[in-house]
Amino acid sequence: MTVSGTASPPRLNSVPPSAEDAAALERTWRDPPGLLGWLAAINHKEIGKRFIVTAFGFFVAGGLLAAAMRLQLAQPDNRLIGPDLYNQIFTMHGTTMMFLFAVPVMQAMSIYLVPLMIGSRSVAFPRMNAYGYWIYLFGGLMLFVAFALNIGPDAGWFSYVPLAGPDYSPGKRVDFWAQMITFTELSALIEAVILITGVLKLRAPGMTLNRIPLFVWGMLVTAFMVMFAMPAVMLASTALITDRLVATHFYNPAEGGDAILWQHLFWFFGHPEVYLIFIPGLGFMSAIIPTFARRPIFGYSAMVLSLIATAFLAFGLWVHHMFATNLPELGKSFFTAVSMMIAIPSAVQIFCWLATLWTGKLVFKTPLLFTFAFFFVLVLGGMTGIILASVPLDLQVHDTYFVVAHLHYVLIGGAVFPLFGAFYYWFPKITGRMLSERLGRWNFWLFLIGFNVTFFPMHMLGLQGMPRRVYTYGAEMGWSNLNALASLGALTIAISMLLFVINVWRSLRHGAVAGPNPWNAGTLEWSTPSPPPACNFEAIPVVGGRDPLWEPGGVRGHVAGLAVDSRELLMTTVLDAEPETRESFPEPTIWPFVGAVATTVFFIGSIFTPWAIVWGSVPVAIALTAWFWPKRRENTAHLALERAP
């Protein structure tokens, strides 16, 4: 920024913004250059891109682990991977996909997209956002470094005690798992608070609550769920690590602890987590379908209410993961009922999308194809969900490949297919270039076919009694052909993913130039150039409808009077998005990065000595204080704009 300690009045933007306004805004909002500048970056688009790329990197790593498992299981009595390594691989696969990919990638997409969709220039706490990213990155890297050193966790992605306790899992493997939880959940909680605050306070004027894009609603509901679900797993994993490191007895029945307590706490988080992954997927669907059906969404209010209902119900069905434990039968019936009930809001949304598609004029581009896969795959997963929600049926297939098939149908169908649709949909916005449609169609069909060839046979394998998590099986079991088929499917998925990477790689250089709105979509992110300038919008739009760009005459107007040479943002009221204050936002700084490094030392140190909690907190406190402490130059700029309420 250019304002220094002089008395010159701050420069405010005009409408339409002049070329000088635009240039000043670009200087003000861009991240600093150089390596230090890179570490100090806080622009939500930069952090969002890093978050997306990192999450996709973990997705590829988790996928390679899956490929290793399918290679091992491709034939009976295979000796390629031993039982110990296999235990680590399936634990790492589940942990990576759930904690390092599925939840973070959704938050990553929202970090990039939500400010653009609500007509803002930033997330609510940009420095905290950068800190959240670094914490996530360091936590994920820690887990993979541990795995590379043969201390990868090996007690399954949900680390049941007593297997994960000190008696049956000596060494440090499970400790790394427990601390990975601390890292990722801290990051997720931070991002949830940032998102909620941003959506409630930073919307463009006129974007009342009932005009928020449905993807943003989905992320808002998800963020609220994160706030109430994630604390359970953090508490549980802290108790697990203290049981292992300082001999507490939370899960030790010999001293009054209880092993089922772990399952309650884990699934009180774990079931809502499925919806933390699924609801953003629904948000992608609701963004893509109207654009390619060329009409506004059918049943907006019903969609929003369904999202909220799903979030509430998601907290009432964790025990359906525990039907094989010794809990009262009446209690189990309650959880069966809630598990069935959650189908209702899901069905409402599916029917609203079908109505939108039915009455629209469809444009068959790749993003729409991926949403079609959602209908097919998720509904199949939902069907097996009804089977698993029923206690007697669940007991028959508990811990078999039937469950593996079910969860992949739900999660990949419900979240990953829409996510790939979202990649194709917003790639032009993020990069300025279109992905190839031809490669996209190959990517889609190979993924869809490969997915079904991999996971459909697993239903049969489960019904035939093949348990989960076995590193091999005998030829006499009769599971060989179906397993070989599943491995062939996994290879097909791998090829489809390779095509996606090639598509991204080529399109970054040679893709057709996108322009601001290549799909003729209706939401605000498409009103700004692709890729967007550092400030997102040279003038903040004023919104007059749910699909502002589809309103007659487009957006209603623009905001004038915000500083262009200082990071100033418009805050609006929570319900009606009426202008309320202009607030100065913080500038880039290295301290979130330093704070994240200090936090990492603190967390990893505490795996080895409880005293790290004492000495490790000192650098954290120093970094966070330096981060907060105002700089005179910034302060002068803020004072120049100050006007007391």
Partner 1 sequence: MSAEADQVTATRRSGAVAGAPTVAGGVLDVRELPSFGFSHRSVMWWGTAGLMAIESTVFALAIVVYFYLRTHSELWPMRSPPPELLWGTLNTVVMIVSLWPNQLAKRAAMKLDKSGVQLWLSVCTVLGFLILMLRGLELTALNVRWDTDAYGSIVWMIMLLHTTHLVTDTWDTTVLDVLFFTGPLEGKRYVDVNENAIYWNFVVLSWLPTYAVIYFGPRG
Residues 523-562 that bind partner 1 (CB under 8 A): 542-545, 556-562
Closer to partner 1 by CB, 14 or 464: give it.
14
Is position 265 an interface residue for partner 1 (rule: CB under 8 A)? Answer: yes
Q: In DSSP terms, which residues pair with 571 in a beta bridge?
A: 581
Closer to partner 1 by CB, 92 or 128: give it.
128
Give the CA angle between residues 102, 103, 106 to the nearest 5°.
90
Q: Least distance in Å: CB of 570 to partner 1?
A: 6
Closer to partner 1 by CB, 229 or 389: give it.
229
Binding to partner 1 in span 307-336, by CB under 8 A: none
Question: Which DSSP category does 12 fall into?
Answer: B
CB atoms within 10 A of CB 513: 10
Is position 567 an interface residue for partner 1 (rule: CB under 8 A)? Answer: no
List Cα–Cα distances, 573 to 32, 193, 203, in angstroms: 32, 17, 8
**In a 10 Å sphere around its CB, with 0-12 CB exposed, 13-18 middle and 19+ buried, how is residue 474 labelled?**
exposed
Is position 250 an interface residue for partner 1 (rule: CB under 8 A)? Answer: yes
Tell me which H or E stretch contains 595.
Answer: helix 591-608
Is position 264 an interface residue for partner 1 (rule: CB under 8 A)? Answer: yes
Q: Least distance in Å: CB of 569 to partner 1?
A: 9
Is position 484 an interface residue for partner 1 (rule: CB under 8 A)? Answer: no
Measured CA to CA, the distance from residue 482 to residue 470 in angstroms comes to 15
At residue 552, the 3 state secondary structure works out as coil
Closer to partner 1 by CB, 198 or 457: give it.
198
Residue 14, sorted as left (phi over 0), alpha (psi -120 to 50) or beta, turns out to be: beta
Is position 259 an interface residue for partner 1 (rule: CB under 8 A)? Answer: no
Is position 339 an interface residue for partner 1 (rule: CB under 8 A)? Answer: no
Is position 570 an interface residue for partner 1 (rule: CB under 8 A)? Answer: yes
Closer to partner 1 by CB, 272 or 428: give it.
272
3-class SS letters over 4-33: CCCCCCCCECCCCCCHHHHHHHHHHHCCCC
Binding to partner 1 in span 601-640, by CB under 8 A: 621, 625, 628-632, 635-636, 638-639
Any idea which residue has 């090829």 for tokens?
A: 495
Could you say which of 449, 531, 576, 605 contacts partner 1 (CB under 8 A)? 576
Q: Least distance in Å: CB of 242 to partner 1?
A: 7
Q: Least distance in Å: CB of 599 to partner 1?
A: 13
Is position 246 an interface residue for partner 1 (rule: CB under 8 A)? Answer: yes
Total residues contacting partner 1 by CB under 8 A comes to 84
Give the CA angle between residues 34, 36, 42 to the nearest 5°.
100
For partner 1, what does the binding mask look like between residues 65 and 104, x meaning CB under 8 A? ----------------------------------------
Q: Least distance in Å: CB of 55 to partner 1?
A: 22
Binding to partner 1 in span 179-208, by CB under 8 A: 189, 192-194, 196-197, 200-202, 205-208
Any idea which residue has 């506004």 for tokens?
A: 296
Binding to partner 1 in span 435-474, by CB under 8 A: none
CB distance 214 to 304 below 8 Å: yes
Could you say which of 258, 437, 445, 491 contacts partner 1 (CB under 8 A)? 258
Give me 420's structure tokens.
Answer: 């790939």
Amino acid at 69: M
Binding to partner 1 in span 118-147, by CB under 8 A: 124-125, 128
Distance of CA 69 to the CA centre of its chain: 25
Amino acid at 147: F
Residue in 321, 350, 347 with CA at minimum distance from that of residue 336:
321
Could you say which of 247, 337, 498, 508 contacts partner 1 (CB under 8 A)? 247
Could you say which of 162, 579, 605, 619 contacts partner 1 (CB under 8 A)? 579
Cis peptide bond prior to 518, omega within 30° of 0: no
Q: How many CA atoms lie within 13 A of 472 on its CB side?
A: 16
Is position 227 an interface residue for partner 1 (rule: CB under 8 A)? Answer: yes
Residue in 59, 61, 60, 69 with CA at minimum distance from that of residue 483:
69
Residue in 535, 556, 576 with CA at minimum distance from that of residue 212:
576
Q: Least distance in Å: CB of 16 to partner 1?
A: 9
Closer to partner 1 by CB, 82 or 561: give it.
561
Q: Least distance in Å: CB of 130 to partner 1?
A: 15
